[in-house]
Structure 1
Amino acid sequence: MKTVMKMLVVLVLLSGTAVAFCSAAEETRTFVDDVGREITLPVKIDAVSPSGPLAQIVLYSVDQDLFVSVSSEFTDAQAKYIDPRLLTLPVTGQFYGSKAATMNPESIMELNKNLNIDVVLDIGEAKETMKPDLDDIQSKTGVGFAFVTQNKLKEIPGSYVKLGELLSRPERGQELADYVSALLAEFDTGMKEVGDNKKSLIYVTAIDGNSVSTIGKGSYHAEVIDYVGNNLAKPATTGGPGDEYTMEDILQLNPDYIIVGYVDGHAYYNTIMTDPMWRSLSAVRNGNVYEAPYGPYSWMGGPPSIQRLLSMIWLGNLMYPDVFDYDIDERVKEFYSLFFRYDLTDAELDDLMVYAKPAPASASAQATTQAPAPLFGVLAGLAAAAAVAGRGRNR
């Protein structure tokens, strides 16, 4: 009898051990990221740290409640659109890019004592060294690092499906993927209708006297403007803020549309609209100068992430209203609600798009009347630019 009891006790203990082992096994899973790394993760993800600004933007669109840290602090202009909880979170820094040194293993390890990070999320374009880089910091910190590719517009739907799997939010990932897929299909159809009748444009990111920075064609930052228009800028030679042109170069390009980046006080936009040299351009005379909206990020990029979809929606309707015939206000509000979980008021939308919509007909007529005569203005502008360039060469 005693022998039987002992055997029962052993069986119970073994059974308990087996259950505990199975439970532990069920609490983790293996995820393969987009550079082929196998990462052991919790089945349920609740605590995520973004590795940089791209990851921060995209993670926010999936589930803002997942954040336990941010890669960088939000500016005052961004903060109004952001969940207030995120404004109080610790900053873990950036792993890649110009601020890569701000993320280091020691700080991650220290923060993780309190944050219990499930995974550090990295998003963008896969680099040759990414696999060993991520393996190295993961081994040093003991925290899982996962990379998901999201570089070109066409990669966004697949990236959301992958993120849904990674972050244990499959339904949300699929919802966002479906929206983007439908949007890209809509624009593929529309741009085929536009065909060879694309409007010419330039995207001005900075103005400093006779120096003008524009985004060159073929760059990551130019993907949307290359797609919806005929980007007159030469092929990109630098990244970031764009390539440098002289005012004489801009006058010779003479685009149909000028898109200008936002800065405080609308400084670049105001320069274009008031400077006599700029006003000799047909885009200015015809009222086709528009400032890219900013909030919580520039719609054109900076960094170039999912908000570029907004710029596509905006520019398509702006330049080809007969093809992309929809209410731009409704589409923008829909995007903010879906991706930023923010319901824009009419007043907020008007503020965002203050220089992003065509002016009333009366205002356009007045601007045309006040602008210099086309031929005289262009000749005067070219002469002035040549004089400035000449002074520079003679110094």
Structure 2
Amino acid sequence: MRPLLTLLALLALVSPAHARSVTDSAGRVVEVPDTVTTVFAAGPPASVLVYVLKPEALTGWPRALRPEERAYVAEPYRDLPETGRLTGRGGEANLEAVLKIKPDLIVDFGSVRDTYIDLADRVQEQTGIPYLLIDGRFDNTAEALRVLGGALGVPERGEALAQDVEARFARLDALLAEVPEDARPRVYLARGPEGLETGMKGSINTEIIERAGGRNVADDGGATKGLVNASMEQVIVANPDTIVTWDQNFFAAVQDDPLWQGIDAVQKGRVFLSPTAPFGWIDRPPSLNRMMGLTWMAGLLYPERWSEQGGGDLRAETRAFYNLYYHVDLSDEDLEGLLEWAEGRPPE
């Protein structure tokens, strides 16, 4: 342990020879090197954000890519090492890994609550490595791209992506302006093989449903937050007309499960499986990947209105998104594999 402590002490005395001040989403003023060539992502959402903006700076994935995800990431970055995470359960055990990598910058993308501010301050103080906290709320996406794009030295790309995000939101807002709240689809997020884990209204896991104009049926007026385990009785009472899931086991079984037969969404064939490669379209993680999910979900919930707003061709929009955000040109085979069940087609 002593060599690590000595290294921490030495690194804490080091400051970049040429640095500039960046104010992060928590209001912290951080001295960032003029040229950032290596970034440690504190968690999965940050890794997606850094990859989208400046993939050559990413030092590794918090979790190494799985075989089925590799085709959807540009080839030079498929074999980046697994670095673990600083945030979340057991995250701080990876501080030594950060010191070995010696990145120019640490980035976290998500909550900017006091807990995360304290962690950022402590890690920065111990290592001497600047640490930026970027607000990961859905509606802050464009600002996040601008702030980190500037910090990474790619402001033009950050601005281009921010404008793309704003255009997507504007298309959706124009659509929803004509749809009264009580006329919007009632949506349930089914997580896990039984479909009984879900996210309450306002949670980061269901933010995409609500932003796309769906009414999350897991709503108790704000009394409960985050992920919860629902009972089958609660789902029956809620009776959603649309179900979205990323769990293939649930999706494959739900049509033949007698417990779900009375649910409107099942009876009408409105159960949809979200793509998950290379990152989930609903969450997992809640990062820039949700922008593609937003486009997909708007088309599911409002197919005619979304088409009138310039959407509707899911294949073309997926190709364009993966090229712009993920730096990859999808083959026809990879595109079909990705969208195989996203339009509600039953598994073979």
Q: TM-score range by the shorter chain?
A: 0.7 to 0.9
Paired residue for 1:107?
97
Question: What per-residue deviation string (whole Å, max 9, x for no partner) do you get for residues 44-90 of structure 1?
Answer: 21111111111101111101111223333222232222234434444
Match of 2:135 among 135, 138, 149: 149
Does residue 59 of structure 2 align to residue 68 of structure 1?
yes
Match of 1:218 among 197, 202, 206: 202
Paired residue for 2:322?
336
Relative to total residues, which structure has the larger helix share, 1 or 2?
A: 1
C-alpha distance 89-310 of structure 1, shift in aligned 2 (>3 A): closer
Match of 2:268 among 286, 296, 305: 286
State how 1:352-367 maps to structure 2 within 5 Å.
Answer: 352-359=338-345
Please, which moves more after superposition, 158-167 or 30-39? 30-39
Identity of aligned residues (%): 26
Does residue 337 of structure 2 align to residue 346 of structure 1?
no
Match of 1:174 among 153, 159, 167: 159
State how 1:205-244 maps to structure 2 within 5 Å.
Answer: 205-208=191-194, 212-227=196-211, 228-235=213-220, 237=224, 239=226, 242-244=227-229
Paired residue for 1:381?
none
Q: Which has the higher contact order (CA 8 A, sep 6+)?
A: 2
Q: Is the 8 A contact 2:72 2:330 kept in 1?
A: no
Paired residue for 1:268?
250
Q: Match of 1:34, as an amino acid?
A: S
- C-alpha distance in 1, partners of 2:81/2:330? 28
Stretches of structure 1 lacking an aligned partner (at least 5 in a row): 1-23, 364-395
Q: Is the 8 A contact 2:74 2:328 kept in 1?
A: no
State how 1:87-126 maps to structure 2 within 5 Å.
Answer: 87-104=78-95, 106-112=96-102, 117-126=103-112
Question: What per-residue deviation string (whole Å, max 9, x for no partner) do you get for residues 184-232 of structure 1?
Answer: 1111111112223211121100244xx7222221212111212321211
Q: Match of 1:244, as an amino acid?
A: N
Q: Is the 8 A contact 2:74 2:327 kept in 1?
A: no
Paired residue for 2:300?
318
TM-score, normalised to structure 2, is 0.86
C-alpha distance 118-247 of structure 1, shift in aligned 2 (>3 A): same
Does residue 28 of structure 2 align to residue 37 of structure 1?
yes
Paired residue for 2:291?
309
Q: Match of 1:218, as an amino acid?
A: G
- C-alpha distance in 2, partners of 1:169/1:41? 14
Does residue 123 of structure 2 align to residue 137 of structure 1?
yes
Paired residue for 1:20?
none
Stretches of structure 2 lacking an aligned partner (at least 5 in a row): 1-14
C-alpha distance 191-109 of structure 1, shift in aligned 2 (>3 A): same
- How many residue pairs match? The answer is 324
TM-score, normalised to structure 1, is 0.76
Paired residue for 1:195?
180
- C-alpha distance in 2, partners of 1:29/1:214? 43
SS in structure 1 at match of 2:83? coil
Question: What per-residue deviation string (whole Å, max 9, x for no partner) do you get for residues 275-310 of structure 1?
Answer: 123223222221111111111111010121111122
Q: How far 1:166 moved relative to its partner? A: 0.5
Q: Which structure's CA Rg is the greater one? A: 1
Q: Is the 8 A contact 1:49 1:71 kept in 2?
A: no
SS in structure 2 at match of 1:41? strand
- C-alpha distance in 1, partners of 2:230/2:207? 20
Q: Match of 1:33, as an amino acid?
A: D
